[in-house]
Amino acid sequence: MTRAPLFGCIEAGGTKFMLGVARDCDTILDTVRIPTSTPDVTLRDALAFFVNASNQWGSFDAFGIASFGPVDLDRLSSSWGRITDTPKAGWTGVDLVGPVGNAFDCPVGFDTDVNGAILAESLWGAAVGADIAVYVTVGTGIGGGALVEERLVHGARHPEMGHMLPRRHALDLEFPGICPYHGCCLEGLSSGPAIMARWRHSLSELPQDHPAHEIIAYYLAQMIVAQQAFLSPRRVVLGGGVMATPGLIERVRTQTSILGGGYFGSVDFDGLIVEPALGDRAGLLGALALAQRARR
């Protein structure tokens, strides 16, 4: 019998690496979580996990790495496969692809964690059937990935949706924002740390009648209206810890409808703006999807 392919999956996050061994999306053979410490220690522990897996299940056919960024996605670049100018201490310039490809002598797919997430959601989750779809995570930071007719959007670098500059809410004119580059960009105003810096509580801890809920919904809605104007997506998937706040996605839908002003036609906002169907598996399954593409 022909052996089913074996894939190594790495969701490289700023606080943790999720590692997995899979045959397909329904056959996950093993997973482990390791902390993101120094690059040497983290990559050593990751490679050790996959060496043990190879001894148990055989050689890998391909790997997929869905990483925090910024990263270099230009295959013609000498730094392809590396993290670039990240604020994560010690990780600027770290090569993720090289050590994995060299250790296991197989193709490696590489992209951002959010691009991996929208790819996975388009194959197995909330964006199935959408020719243009966006995934945005709202948590420690804000990042977004886009898929246009089965192609992940890269360009000069890759989308940085969290760093758009929104119009300020009338009740939120004084807070300077926390982004070290832009101050009051979307991430600087609406990420989890920004909310904590402004109100000393997470959004889910604040009462439902607190103005913070409408303010954050207003900022996130501006991002979605911008997506409607630039990409005309059929689905916008909103994930991350902040989006777990009860009622927030409904507020975002309402604000998006108001800010859009009816210009984009008759829109089913419940169908346009959705929660991830894959939950916290989106990142690791994104890495699997990247590995499957790399093997082709």
pLDDT value at 2 more than 70: no
Q: What's residue 296's pLDDT?
A: 81
Number of structural domains in the chain: 2
Domain limits for position 186 = 126-276
Q: Mean pLDDT in the chain?
A: 95
Q: What's residue 293's pLDDT?
A: 96
The number of beta carbons lying within 10 Å of the beta carbon of residue 128 is: 12
The CATH code of the domain that includes 130 is 3.30.420.40
Residue 200 falls within a domain, yes or no? yes
My answer on whether 142 and 107 are in the same domain is no
My answer on whether 190 and 211 are in the same domain is yes
Residue 161 falls within a domain, yes or no? yes
Q: What is the mean pLDDT of the segment spanning 172-187? A: 95
Q: What's residue 127's pLDDT?
A: 98
My answer on whether 156 and 255 are in the same domain is yes
My answer on whether 289 and 232 are in the same domain is no
User: What sign results for the dihedral spanned by CA atoms 31, 193, 185, 256?
Assistant: positive
Q: What's residue 1's pLDDT?
A: 55
3-state helix, strand, coil in the chain (%, to 5): 40, 20, 40
My answer on whether 197 and 253 are in the same domain is yes
Using CA atoms of 12, 224, 214, 263 in order, give the dihedral in degrees to the nearest 10. Answer: 180
Residue 119 falls within a domain, yes or no? no
- Give the H/E segment covering residue 69: none
Q: At what angle do helices 248-260 and 211-230 cross, to 10 degrees?
A: 50
> Residue 41: left if φ>0, alpha if ψ -120 to 50, beta else—which one?
alpha
pLDDT digits (tens, 9 = 90+) for 109-138: 999 999 999 999 999 999 999 999 999 999
My answer on whether 202 and 90 are in the same domain is no
Q: What's residue 158's pLDDT?
A: 81
My answer on whether 25 and 101 are in the same domain is yes
Query: In the chain, pLDDT over 90 holds for what percent of residues?
Result: 90
Residue 213 falls within a domain, yes or no? yes
Q: What is the mean pLDDT of the segment spanning 217-226? A: 98
Sheet containing strand 132-138, edge to edge, reads 151-152, 142-148, 132-138, 235-239, 273-274
| In the chain, alpha helices (H) | 39-57, 97-104, 113-124, 186-190, 192-199, 211-230, 248-260, 269-272, 282-295
Q: What's residue 155's pLDDT?
A: 76
Q: What is the mean pLDDT of the segment spanning 239-251? A: 97
Determine the Cα–Cα distance for residues 264 and 228; give it in Å rounded to an integer: 7
Which of these ranges, 125-129, 179-183, 225-229, 290-294, has the smallest mean pLDDT? Answer: 179-183
My answer on whether 86 and 137 are in the same domain is no
Question: Is residue 159 very low, low, confident or very high in pLDDT (cuts 50, 70, 90)?
Answer: confident
Encoded tokens for 32: 């482990």
Q: Decide if 159 contacts 153 (C-beta within 8 A).
A: yes
My answer on whether 20 and 91 are in the same domain is yes
Strand partners, 241: none
Q: Which residue has the tokens 């590692």?
A: 19
Pairing of strands 273-274, 235-239: parallel
My answer on whether 78 and 131 are in the same domain is no
My answer on whether 155 and 140 are in the same domain is yes
pLDDT digits (tens, 9 = 90+) for 54-113: 999 999 999 999 999 899 999 989 999 999 988 788 999 999 999 999 999 999 999 999
Residue 254 falls within a domain, yes or no? yes
pLDDT value at 225 more than 80: yes
Q: Decide if 30 contacts 20 (C-beta within 8 A).
A: yes
Which of these ranges, 102-111, 154-163, 231-240, 259-268, has the smallest mean pLDDT? Answer: 154-163
The number of beta carbons lying within 10 Å of the beta carbon of residue 90 is: 13
Residue 1 falls within a domain, yes or no? no
Residue 96 falls within a domain, yes or no? yes
Question: Is residue 157 very low, low, confident or very high in pLDDT (cuts 50, 70, 90)?
Answer: confident
User: What sign results for the dihedral spanned by CA atoms 171, 173, 178, 182?
Assistant: positive
Residue 201 falls within a domain, yes or no? yes
My answer on whether 96 and 157 are in the same domain is no
Cis ω for the linkage preceding 107 (within 30 of 0): no
Is the pTM for the entire model greater than 0.75? yes
pLDDT value at 203 more than 70: yes
Determine the Cα–Cα distance for residues 120 and 201; give it in Å rounded to an integer: 32
